[in-house]
Amino acid sequence: MSGALGAAVNGLPDGFLWGGAIAANQAEGAWQEDGRGLSIEDVVPFLPADGYEHLEIIRSRSQIEDGLADRAAAYPKRTGIDFYHTYPEDIALLAELGIKAFRTSIAWSRVFPNGDEQEPNEAGLAFYDRLFDELRKHGIEPVVTLSHYEMPLYLVTEYGGWKNRAVLDFFERFADTVLKRYAEKVTYWIVFNQINTVYFDPYLTLGLLADDEDDFPTALWQGVHHQLVANARAVRLGRRYNPSARMGSMLLDMRAYPRTTAPRDVLAAQQLTQDSLLFSDVMVRGAYPASFRRLLADREIDLQITRADLDQLRENTIDYLTLSYYSSFVVQDGTRLADNIGWPVASKEVANPHLEASEWGWIVDPDGLRIALNEYEDRYNIPLMIVENGLGARDTVEADGSVHDPYRIAYLKAHIETMKEAVRDGVDLLGYLPWGPIDIVSSSTSEMTKRYGFIHVDLDDLGHGTGRRRKKDSFAWYQKVIASNGEDL
């Protein structure tokens, strides 16, 4: 075939955004400086784990009280890697790496310490001015998340989290403040990080304390609805303040394969996909899918949804969809995300005989990334961006200070190869921002032992160490990848 229809894409497009991604709560530290308020992450303790099944979710006020009392536990996210103070040096290293884009988040409690204030904290806003200016100085595009598991703790203890419609209004005030403030400094916005991980951790995603709820399913889905409306309102505000802004939001990809060809196993995988993608269906298509309406009806859940809410969802769809991709699952009959809140996939998951797992039990599946990208392209036909992908592993600093991490290079190389194949398949991909270009505190377990970065940070799980930055072998490798636009792997 000749002509435009038969032309093949042989490589990544010019202007492809090679980069890296972190989150404020895992890196900044400075948890009580310059007027910052308590965040929901500040009471999540260090909890070493070997996989999903060992994670403990905050469910009660007593767990929060324990965190506030500092009882014999470590809370590494309070100090992070001190990025709040070291960001100029860290960004200089990332510029040397050659990245074109850097994803981070704005900590809500830096801007509105309790979340319900009428006026923002200027010191918090000024920090992000300095951060974005530093990125721009080095020619790095900021990709900024508004909500990355960082809501003010006060909104949990006093308002009950996102189930309360007042939180929707508080978030709109926060979004309005920062979207207006940074309209000329930030083009790419992500409203919610991994919005569909509500199935795994309702506390971090919605600020819900399960033990407080007499009707937990209704509270959960009411909170989800409020977040989706908040997403639409933020999209509207972003376009108001900068018509050229790219307004997006984010999913955790939950690639699910049926255990067998038995129809009930195939249906289980299909339902997992429907449960996962109902969030992006709303954000991209502007309406709730029929599968969600049945989910509510079957469980006799009655949500408070106004006509104005539905209008806002329809009128303010996102410009691009961002994804995190780490792993895939094998599921069988009986796995339904909506019925197994709290790391539900692991509770029914079976091993994939064709793939190996990381040290933390995450299945390594590069081909799953190509499958995922093609499915999103077919389903939504909008631009995509990979804003998390990486391998958490133990790194060893040698006597000479070097860090050899061929396992990380192998993981990323395999995923970039399949990513490139997806682009050749026709996927409109804006960029690739792997997780943790510099070591940060783990989201799930609050540990430093599980490292992702190209840059090693000399801190242990309890925050002890010099904080010194060292380039790993993967630093030079990714530097070449970026310089060659993905051709030299």
pLDDT (tens digit, 9 = 90+) per residue, 359-384?
Answer: 888 899 999 999 999 999 999 999 99
End-to-end Cα spacing for the chain: 30
Question: b/e map of 201-234 (b: 16 or more CB within 10 Å)?
Answer: bbbbbbbbbbebbeebbbbbbbbbbbbbbbbbbb
CA dist 335 to 111, 195, 271, 272, 275, Å? 40, 20, 9, 7, 11
For residue 302, the one-letter residue type is D
Asked which of 71-80, 235-244, 277-286 is least confident by mean pLDDT, the reply is: 71-80
Model-wide pTM > 0.85: yes
Q: Report yes or no: 340 and 347 within 8 Å, Cβ to Cβ.
A: yes
CA dist 60 to 52, 134, 157, Å? 20, 40, 10
Question: Binning pLDDT at 50, 70 and 90, where does residue 71 land?
Answer: low
Q: What is the DSSP letter of 163?
A: G
For residue 410, the one-letter residue type is A
Question: Binning pLDDT at 50, 70 and 90, where does residue 323 land?
Answer: very high
Locus of tokens 């895939």: 328
Q: Looking at the domain that runs over 4-482, which CATH code has it been given?
A: 3.20.20.80
Q: Report yes or no: 489 and 420 within 8 Å, Cβ to Cβ.
A: no
HSE-up of residue 356 (Cα within 13 Å, Cβ side)? 5
Q: Report yes or no: 268 and 331 within 8 Å, Cβ to Cβ.
A: yes
Mean pLDDT of 327-351: 73
Asked which of 7-21, 234-248, 403-417 is least confident by mean pLDDT, the reply is: 7-21
The predicted pLDDT at position 52 comes to 45
Burial of residue 454 (number of CB atoms within 10 Å: 0-12, 13-18, 19+): buried
pLDDT tens per residue across span 432-441 = 999 999 999 9
Residues 104, 22: Cα–Cα separation, whole Å:
5
Question: Binning pLDDT at 50, 70 and 90, where does residue 351 land?
Answer: confident
Q: How many residues are present in the chain?
A: 489
Mean pLDDT of 31-55: 81
If you average pLDDT over every residue of the chain, what do you get? 93
- The pairing of strands 455-457 and 469-471 is antiparallel
Nearest by Cα to 46 from 56, 37, 38:
56
Beta carbons within 8 Å of 117's beta carbon, 6+ residues apart: none
Residues 234, 480: Cα–Cα separation, whole Å:
37
Mean pLDDT of 8-13: 73
Residues 182, 267: Cα–Cα separation, whole Å:
45
> Which residues is 158 bridged to in the sheet?
none
Give the residue extent of every domain in the chain: 4-482
**Residue 87 scores a pLDDT above 50:** yes
CA quadruple 29, 32, 36, 40: dihedral positive or negative?
A: positive
For residue 127, the one-letter residue type is F
Nearest by Cα to 320 from 178, 427, 419, 437:
427
